[in-house]
Amino acid sequence: MIETRVLTPHEWPTWRELRLAALTEAPDAFGARLSDWQGDGDREERWRNRLSIPGSHNLVAVLDGRPVGMASGVPTPDPLVMELISMWVCPEARGHGVGHRLVDAVAQWAKELGAHQVRLNVAPHNTAATTLYRRSGFTPTNELGDLLPSGAGHAQVMTRQL
């Protein structure tokens, strides 16, 4: 059974474990690099602050009692648009509906806040994520996304109407 739950700042060790695993397993899928969150970047205060972004909704997915995925919803300057960030599911939990559950939980949160749209950035070469997002109701836009960490291109922006 898949459970999603909201993480609070005092649960930062769970977020840390998942985020470091995500950045290790899929280094080109995120706007941050593993090295950004190691060494001097690996501080309790920083992890707590990440979970304290004003208005954010930070989720962990639990499968068979073990944290296996994460996602966040964050506000944008437009109150009708929320953004899905930091989405990741560990490889052994993929194909079990974890990703869909996380995406839908963020979309439900956004809808409850009165948003009309959820947007995200996805690396263009990340076909598994793009497929998940399409199946979850997202469509690509012509908008230029965030610069990829490598500096070689931009992410694809996708949106889901609520």
CATH number of the domain bearing residue 89: 3.40.630.30
Find the mean pLDDT for residues 66-89. Answer: 97
Residue 30 pLDDT: 86
How many domains is the chain partitioned into structurally? 1
Find the mean pLDDT for residues 20-33. Answer: 90
pLDDT of residue 69 exceeding 90, the answer is yes
Residue 147 pLDDT: 84
pLDDT in tens, 33-53: 888 899 988 999 999 999 999
Share the mean pLDDT of the chain.
Answer: 95
pLDDT in tens, 126-143: 999 999 999 999 999 999
Q: Are 155 and 123 in contact (CB under 8 A)?
A: yes
What's this model's pTM, rounded to 2 decimal places? 0.94
Domain range enclosing 137: 2-161
- Bin 86: left if φ > 0, else alpha if -120 < ψ < 50, else beta: left
